[in-house]
Structure 1
Amino acid sequence: MAFQKPSHTFTKIHLKALHTNNFHLLFTLSFTVFINMYSSAQDISKAADSIAIEKQEPLITLGDSLVAPLEISEKAQDSTKRDSIKPKKEFLENIVNYKATDYTSFNKKEQKMYLYNEADITYGDINIKAGYIVFDHSKNQVYARGIIDSLGEYTQPPIFTQGQQVVEPDSIIFNTDSKKALIFNSITEQGEGKVVASITKKENDSVYFIGPSKYTTAENLDDPEYYIKLRKAKVVPGKKIVTGFANLFIYDVPTPVAVPFGFFPQSETHTSGVLLPSYGEENSRGYFLQNGGYYFAINDNVDLAITGDYYTNGSYGLRAESSYVKRYKFRGSASFRYENLVSSERGFPDYAKSTLYNIRWSHSKDGKANPNSSFSASVNLGSSNYYQTSINQSNNANRLNNTLSSSISYSKNFLGDPDVSLSLTATHSQNTNTQQINMTLPTLQASVGRIYPFAPKTGSKKGIIQNINLQYTTRGENRIQTTDSLFFKKEMFDDAQIGMQHSIPISTNFKLFKYLSASASASYNEVWTLETINRYYDADQQEVVTEDLNGFDAFRTYNFSTSLGTTIYGTKSFEKEGKTPKIQAIRHVMRPSISYNINPAFDKYYETYEVISADGLTTSDVDYTRFEGGIFGSPGKTFSSSMGISLSNNLEAKVRDKDSTATEPKKVVLLNSLNLSTSYNFAGDSLQWSPVRMSGGTQLFDNKLSVNFGATLDPYALDNNNNKIDTFNFDNGGSLFRLTSANMTLSYSLSSKNSDKKEDNSRDDNRASGGRDDDLFGKSQDFSSDRYANQDENKEEEIPSEFYNFKIPWNLRLAYAVNYSNSARQNEISSHSLMFSGDIELSPKWSFGASSGYDFKNKGFSYTQFTFERDLLSWRMNFSWIPFGTYQSWNFFIGIKSSLLKDLKYEKRLQPDRQL
């Protein structure tokens, strides 16, 4: 029987008004009783010869094992008949290898061999190491014990090894013939724990019977912080431990946590088993059992865990999670979660019922399995409000997600001359606030590799002609836009759009005047569609009518572009003869470029309809294209001839390295990028200059601070109605440019030099759900999960100071964002926020973490969470607290780290009030 945590909640129910469904409450109590009665029967061993326990002398006699020879009848036997008497068993079946440091002696009369000091004897698959060993050849018995050193200490106790099993007792008696043994004061490792027994009887290679003993996963066996006291038990190494009455002791203090009999699985491979639930109480849903179910170890490649939640008011949740792997082929995981939520009681005005679901799938293919093809999947879809209203605490860290996205893709490369590639992709994007869903089911892409028709067969390509290349690409989409309420219903396909685009780009590049890089390209595009429109004015209804037309149609466009660019390097050196300044040189790299684009007007795809005014006299012509609203846009009506100008900058410095042994100066990035771009439309009749867009970024403080910024500068002025006019802002009495928008983001990560915090495995789950991996949105409160086990077990421990903790590891993560808007003279900060999260190790066993944020515009704190963790050696204790807000709650957990006894825990929490 697997150990259960004490049911403290049910023993502390006080009288209060509860609106609870009696049937559901009875069902929950029955399920709890069933779990407590779950057990496995103890195997009944066959009667076997026992080894008598006598006074421990250098050799313990268990009886004469020699049998008198059998008398054989002298009746005449046929000489050809097979002898029915089996040959006598050899005296020793295996060769005995032995050695000792001080002496090895053999008493021929007693048939005994004595080994002293670092004695070592091997017989078959059995090895015994001890300070003193006596081997009785006449009885096939080995007696081993430790020795007393000059200081009076008991040293060199026996170490008994048979196959994979290792036993460390005070002394042992072993019979090489029957393979039985008596083991005194032994320590046996069983799975993740150890069994400390005063006396153990080894029945055979796979069964041990032990008397009063302790089972613990503590490292300090002399003074364990906890253990389970077993009055008697049967141990099958690598399989199970079956016990009689057992109870939990904490620092030798007995506790009421006990079972009349117990079963501890000890399988070294994955095995199926029950997942015990945690319990608690919620204000609006009553008592609950959460995360209980069954784990199926299907095989070494696939597993399945089915868990569920149940509330006494009728709410419930079901989850199925599976992981799979095929070595050198692929790996992945899939999960389906469904929740039926009931609030309040039927008949009350606040009664509500809703269903939620979430589907997740992650799949990756090993690149070595087939280099010419790949398949990957990252799926996260379901109800838009799943993470916000889920009743399961493991979803807490994903409640602030605004987007759910999915992608499933397959690609195949066909090698040849030229290469051909094919890909098939299905995508999904879901806004959890607007509940708008955009999907492509599917997207087909195919392309033919670049072809150089004029390139030489050998040697490099030179000049404008030899570098001419062309390519063919095609893209087809089935695009669906729907809402959360119509998801997975036939109505979601009513407004599906289907289209295909073909593109043939032709380009070349060459050097001009040695320092200039020039390129020229032309592109031909053809778009196919199955849906077009027809628009006309209905004079009777006095409105414009748009009709959808089904049928194949296509339009064709083309354009031309060319560009010219170069790279300019400038270096300023500060070095002087005989001196080595701290900043030795600064290098400035500029990459200016100018481009020219021509986009013809395709008027032939446009039609006109007349709109008659209300008085019936005035008419106006309105142009439209039947391809309006298509997946790949519509042909342009306006001729465009524009020039683009861009400039990118990069600043680096060479500084003196602090390391005096370094032979080269250290390179430091001052400005990672500073980009400026604008364009001028020659064919435009007004507002020919486009706004100047600026963007840049850099890394500071050894790449711990990441800074990114951007701005939009408009050269034109506004009229009194805040509309842009064809007058430069400078000519209107203003500055050269008008700042219309700006943004800046800072990401800062800081930690102490001795902080060696490992990656939390729970962040992988957050990333798979579309959340953040830096804890800025908080952590999950499911502390019973294995992913919150001690992450630093293999970390080398440092010797602390006798007077104070001179090293306190800590880390801090900050995310700052500010946006400015002034497109219509509003001159306001549209958003301004700071988010932060961090951890600090107050002592080697105490840690504290927090995550929060502040909105400077709305003047309020965002989602805030505090976490406390205490390492209790074999146990761990966690406390999570959300002090305010919609999800105000707290959760306390204390349990054993070992996965074998992880259900031996206590958990108490206050759930958020869903009515708020």
Structure 2
Amino acid sequence: MIIFDKNLYVSLTRQKTSHIFTKIALKPLNTNLFNIVLLSIFLTIGSCNLYSQDIKNKTKAIPAQKQKDSSILTPDIKDDTVPIAKTETDTLKKDSIQPKAILEGKVKYNAENYVKIEQKKKLITLYDKAELYYQDIELKAGIIVMNYEKNEVYAGRIKDSTGKYTQFPNFKQGENVIEPDSIRFNFKSKKALIWNSRTDQGEFKVKAAITKKENDSVYFLKGARFTTSTDVDNPEYYFQTSKVKFIPGKKVVTGLTHMVIANVPTPIALPFAFFPMSKETSVSGILLPSYNDSSRGFSLQNGGYYFALSDNYDLTVLGDYYTNGSYAFRFESSYAKRYRYRGNFNFRFENLINSERGYPDYSKQNIYNLQWSHSKDSKGSPNSNFSASVNMGSSKYFKESINQTNTGSNLNNTLSSSVSYSKTFYGLVGSRLSLSATHSQNTQTSEINMTLPDLQYSVDRIYPFVGKDGVKKGFFKNINLQYNVSGKNSFVTTDSLFFKSEMFDEAQIGAKHSIPLSTNFKIFKYFSGSASTNYEEVWVLKTIQRNYNADQSQVVDKTMNGFDAYRTYNFTSSLGTTIYGTFNFGEDKKIKSIRHVMRPSVSYGYTPSFEKYYDTYATDASGTMTKDYTRFEGGIFGAPSNTNSNRLGFDLSNTFEAKVTDKDSTKTEAKKIMLLNNLNLSTGYDLNADGVNTLAWDPVRVSGGTQFFDNKLNMNFGATLDPYAIDNSGKRINEYNINNGGSLFRMTSANMTMNYSVSSSKESDKDKDKNKQSQRNGGRDDDLFGRNTIDHTRGGSQLEEKEEEGKDAVTEFFTSVIPWDMTFAYSLTYGNNNRESKIIGNSIMVSANTDLTPKWKVGVSTGYDFVQNGVTYTQLRFERDLLSWRMDFTWQPFGDNANWSFFIGIKSGILSDIKFDKRSINNN
């Protein structure tokens, strides 16, 4: 009879086992033949079988055998097997002699079909869905054979009823997982031999004919292939090598390695190769350049180095070089800290040389561009906020860059920036502080307007007449006042003087204090009224003194440095109401009713004259002709007026809404649809108009907007209607147009714009941020002006990946749901200031993208100008998904920025340098 230590649980009935813990040496026990026979009869009556064997009487325990070197185990499944139950029996009492443990821990195992224990061979065989657990090792296979004397385990696959191999081994140690055909492993030495192993390491999938596990961290592979393809057994491409040293999570070092595409060996080979396999999200590495040629000579572009500095930020350094001496470099960094902030920083510089030194068309220039975006998480500090959106640099950068072919940015005429910090102070009277810097740059004129800094501070409204109950009702209780202060330091300069001393010499510095006092009230229940007065005080550090200079024979301004101030005040009031009207057509009609909401309002404003801040200057040498001027002219906050303003304003806003019968017959209530979101009319009347220098009525401005097709089509329109006629020179005269033989109003201008976006996806805004780099450059967020040419040094897709909706439901090509999206824009502008009555602008732009097949994606952006009679910017995009590879082609066939680019390369970021990237160079 066999006796096990208490750590070995074995059930001696005809049942299966679920969990068994082993690894104890055998010990002898004196036997009695009579007792064995008696026990056998008793168990037979109980319908149970007991298997035992004779052991000669021993006087001392058999010592545990010494651990030997591992050898290949061949499982012998033909031996008699012992079906073992899943339920565990009580352990037998441990012998008084303590054996020496062979393994360093417990072994837990189970199998679905059977567990066979061979005590003489020291083997335990697990068959069918076998599992074995030891320390940090997990092993699952069709068959597992364990030799607990030699500390070895063998695992392999088994055949099903059709003769097909199933239940391949799955070996897991820590975070490393290997799926081979078979494996032999030694518990003590941690060494293993693995046949046809398959494992995932980062983005790589590795398969090897024979793998030798030297220890926990080093593997040696023979006949290995590694790829980023999803199917390691039938990949689109792989790297084949005979010898590999593999350190999981760190690196792969190979011998002679060659590339195989579609099972066809290629001439691409290396005598050795090194692949980093860091467990981190990104690793530092060299970015190989691409080769191009142009009028500047041969070039290497987008070569550099990627620095994975930490989990919070990185840095990419890229450069270009041309054989004519032109060069460029770029620094690009992204950073983020959870629940705190995130952002990115890009700086680009290019030294451009055209032609050859000594030729008449030779030129040399430096251009640059700086971009920075930063956003703060409100959870980090809810009382303060810091944000940045910077896009500044040379006005000609996007037009003349030798490495930037984003036409959407080429067509943009302005660059703008804003950096701001704000903080809210809470207390009995709250207040807010804001500091910002702004920048606006016209790329056509190269003029730059910059404010650095711009300070805004305001104190919350104070209601001095509100009682302890806090109720604000009536004229007096609604009286409130605030205090605001604004300080600015403003510059107006050009590209050539940007951040030079001349720029700061022309700075305008000032501060404005304002105290608005206002209230609101009800009149006759249905009218809402408001009244306010505002006191302002402006401080400046520069004023002017204007005189006639006899030497120069002209009027000149002399800048006077020093503190000066002026004070102004004004009064405004308004009265308005809301009128509702409903036109009912009947409950049985398709259109049941139309609701019209009107909000008329009239306002009055008065500003007195501040003549005391005005002086006179001579306009000629005689001094007889003079004009008025103020020393605060050209100030950062403007100048006080020397005429009073006494004006009335009229505004009328309208909305139209309809109730219609719902197409869904199950719904009982009518459906509401918006006919016109807004229809606004506004004009003004000058009470001080004299009919000569000034006319009483302002032109009537009309604007409106609405949506169609479930809000997919947005339409906005506007017009200017002038009640006065004009003379032959085009000047407005004090005579109504209707009295001059015309209509009641003369339309001087009108415009209409329409935007329509639709896609096969129900989520129409899913690609709203698809053109992020174009937005950073100052372009559009859609692709009407095309999409960016992707910088393939860091991966990316020319056509963004679409959500494959319905892909699982339909697989046939002709019946599949084809993803697509389309953006449409139309603009019409009419001009008639001098009775020219002509269309100034009339253009249409269209962008469309679709998946012709699950692998082919195409896109186009184009348009037509009906005034100029020509095709506007056009871009064609093609992309082919090659599983592990990607191929795309972008072409702008005509125009000043005509160009093309072709790319084919591996999608995986770790192998992004294995590519062919060719693009034309814009030499304009």
In the TM superposition, what are the counterparts of 1:204-283 in structure 2 within 5 Å? 204-270=215-281, 272-283=283-294
**Residue 797 of structure 2 corresponds to residue 788 of structure 1:** yes
- Structure 2: distance between partners of 1:910 and 1:673: 48
Residue number among 123, 130, 134 corresponding to 1:123 in the alignment: 134
CA contact (8 A) 2:290 2:303 kept: no
In the TM superposition, what are the counterparts of 1:63-142 in structure 2 within 5 Å? 90-142=101-153
Residue number among 488, 498, 507 corresponding to 2:518 in the alignment: 507
SS in 2 for 1:466: coil
**Residue 758 of structure 2 corresponds to residue 750 of structure 1:** yes
- Structure 2: distance between partners of 1:409 and 1:561: 32
Deviation at 1:144, TM superposition (A): 1.0
**Structure 1 316/329 Cα, relative in aligned 2: closer, same or farther at 3 Å?**
same
Bigger mean CA deviation after superposition, 749-758 or 244-253: 749-758
1:564-613 per-residue CA deviation (whole Å, 9 max, x = no partner) reads 1111111223343xx4x433332111110011111111111122234458
| Percent of pairs with identical residues | 56
Relative CO higher for 1 or 2, CA cutoff 8 Å, sep ≥ 6?
Answer: 1
Q: Residue 459 of structure 2 corresponds to which residue in structure 1?
A: 448
Q: Residue 675 of structure 1 corresponds to which residue in structure 2?
A: 680
When the two chains are superposed, the root-mean-square deviation of aligned CA atoms in Å is 2.3
- Structure 1: distance between partners of 2:261 and 2:136: 38
Residue number among 420, 423, 433 corresponding to 2:434 in the alignment: 423
**Structure 1 670/794 Cα, relative in aligned 2: closer, same or farther at 3 Å?**
closer
Residue number among 848, 867, 880 corresponding to 1:838 in the alignment: 848
CA contact (8 A) 2:807 2:817 kept: no
Q: Residue 631 of structure 2 corresponds to which residue in structure 1?
A: 626
CA contact (8 A) 2:771 2:788 kept: no
Q: Residue 652 of structure 1 corresponds to which residue in structure 2?
A: 657
In the TM superposition, what are the counterparts of 1:167-566 in structure 2 within 5 Å? 167-270=178-281, 272-393=283-404, 395-538=406-549, 542-566=553-577
CA contact (8 A) 1:761 1:787 kept: no
- Structure 2: distance between partners of 1:890 and 1:53: 62
1:269-306 per-residue CA deviation (whole Å, 9 max, x = no partner) reads 15553333332333211111111111122222121111
Deviation at 1:58, TM superposition (A): 4.5
Deviation at 1:906, TM superposition (A): 1.3
**Structure 1 757/192 Cα, relative in aligned 2: closer, same or farther at 3 Å?**
farther
CA contact (8 A) 2:486 2:512 kept: yes
**Residue 891 of structure 2 corresponds to residue 889 of structure 1:** no
Q: Residue 814 of structure 1 corresponds to which residue in structure 2?
A: 824
- Structure 2: distance between partners of 1:509 and 1:793: 52
SS in 2 for 1:302: coil
- Structure 1: distance between partners of 2:308 and 2:628: 66
**Structure 1 760/592 Cα, relative in aligned 2: closer, same or farther at 3 Å?**
closer
- The letter of the residue matching 1:672 is N
Q: Residue 922 of structure 2 corresponds to which residue in structure 1?
A: 912
- Structure 1: distance between partners of 2:776 and 2:543: 39
Q: Which has the larger radius of gyration?
A: 2
- The letter of the residue matching 1:713 is L
Bigger mean CA deviation after superposition, 363-372 or 275-284: 275-284
Q: Residue 16 of structure 1 corresponds to which residue in structure 2?
A: none
- Structure 1: distance between partners of 2:250 and 2:565: 70
CA contact (8 A) 2:285 2:306 kept: yes
SS in 2 for 1:730: helix
- Structure 2: distance between partners of 1:720 and 1:748: 42
Deviation at 1:792, TM superposition (A): 4.6
Q: Residue 70 of structure 1 corresponds to which residue in structure 2?
A: none
- Structure 1: distance between partners of 2:644 and 2:428: 38
- Structure 1: distance between partners of 2:75 and 2:383: 74
Q: Residue 685 of structure 1 corresponds to which residue in structure 2?
A: 690
Bigger mean CA deviation after superposition, 324-333 or 661-670: 661-670
Deviation at 1:762, TM superposition (A): 5.7
SS in 2 for 1:293: strand
**Structure 1 737/761 Cα, relative in aligned 2: closer, same or farther at 3 Å?**
closer
- The letter of the residue matching 1:558 is Y
1:392-448 per-residue CA deviation (whole Å, 9 max, x = no partner) reads 146454222211111111112111121111111111100111100000011111111
Bigger mean CA deviation after superposition, 743-752 or 757-766: 757-766
SS in 2 for 1:109: coil
- Structure 2: distance between partners of 1:154 and 1:675: 77
1:137-185 per-residue CA deviation (whole Å, 9 max, x = no partner) reads 1111111111111111111111111111111111111111111111111
- The letter of the residue matching 1:492 is M
SS in 1 for 2:600: strand
CA contact (8 A) 2:68 2:150 kept: no
SS in 2 for 1:836: strand
Runs (5+) with no aligned partner, structure 2: 1-66, 78-97
CA contact (8 A) 1:755 1:809 kept: no
- Structure 1: distance between partners of 2:803 and 2:669: 39
Deviation at 1:755, TM superposition (A): 8.8
- Structure 1: distance between partners of 2:765 and 2:706: 26
- The letter of the residue matching 1:667 is K
- Structure 2: distance between partners of 1:754 and 1:513: 49
- Structure 2: distance between partners of 1:160 and 1:369: 44
**Structure 1 838/222 Cα, relative in aligned 2: closer, same or farther at 3 Å?**
same
**Structure 1 795/720 Cα, relative in aligned 2: closer, same or farther at 3 Å?**
closer
- The letter of the residue matching 2:633 is E
- Structure 2: distance between partners of 1:666 and 1:266: 59
- The letter of the residue matching 1:631 is I
Query: TM-score of the superposition, structure 2-length normalised?
Result: 0.87
- Structure 1: distance between partners of 2:916 and 2:74: 45
SS in 1 for 2:637: coil
SS in 2 for 1:502: strand
In the TM superposition, what are the counterparts of 1:129-168 in structure 2 within 5 Å? 129-168=140-179
**Structure 1 762/567 Cα, relative in aligned 2: closer, same or farther at 3 Å?**
closer
- Structure 2: distance between partners of 1:139 and 1:611: 113
Q: Residue 26 of structure 1 corresponds to which residue in structure 2?
A: none
- The letter of the residue matching 2:771 is R
SS in 1 for 2:625: strand
CA contact (8 A) 1:275 1:291 kept: no
- The letter of the residue matching 2:883 is L
- Structure 2: distance between partners of 1:357 and 1:150: 71
Residue number among 636, 644, 649 corresponding to 2:641 in the alignment: 636
In the TM superposition, what are the counterparts of 1:3-42 in structure 2 within 5 Å? none
- Structure 2: distance between partners of 1:459 and 1:612: 64
Residue number among 818, 836, 844 corresponding to 1:826 in the alignment: 836
1:792-832 per-residue CA deviation (whole Å, 9 max, x = no partner) reads 58867335454724432221111211222211222222222
**Structure 1 897/137 Cα, relative in aligned 2: closer, same or farther at 3 Å?**
same
- Structure 1: distance between partners of 2:298 and 2:510: 54
- The letter of the residue matching 1:427 is T
- The letter of the residue matching 1:93 is E
**Structure 1 612/131 Cα, relative in aligned 2: closer, same or farther at 3 Å?**
closer
Query: TM-score of the superposition, structure 1-length normalised?
Result: 0.88
1:77-111 per-residue CA deviation (whole Å, 9 max, x = no partner) reads xxxxxxxxxx9973121111111111112112222
Deviation at 1:703, TM superposition (A): 1.1
**Structure 1 794/111 Cα, relative in aligned 2: closer, same or farther at 3 Å?**
farther
CA contact (8 A) 1:208 1:235 kept: yes
SS in 2 for 1:609: strand
**Residue 667 of structure 2 corresponds to residue 666 of structure 1:** no
**Structure 1 799/255 Cα, relative in aligned 2: closer, same or farther at 3 Å?**
farther
SS in 1 for 2:399: helix
**Structure 1 89/346 Cα, relative in aligned 2: closer, same or farther at 3 Å?**
farther
Runs (5+) with no aligned partner, structure 1: 1-48, 60-86
**Structure 1 502/587 Cα, relative in aligned 2: closer, same or farther at 3 Å?**
same
SS in 2 for 1:740: strand
SS in 1 for 2:215: coil
- Structure 2: distance between partners of 1:628 and 1:185: 86
Counting matched residue pairs gives: 834
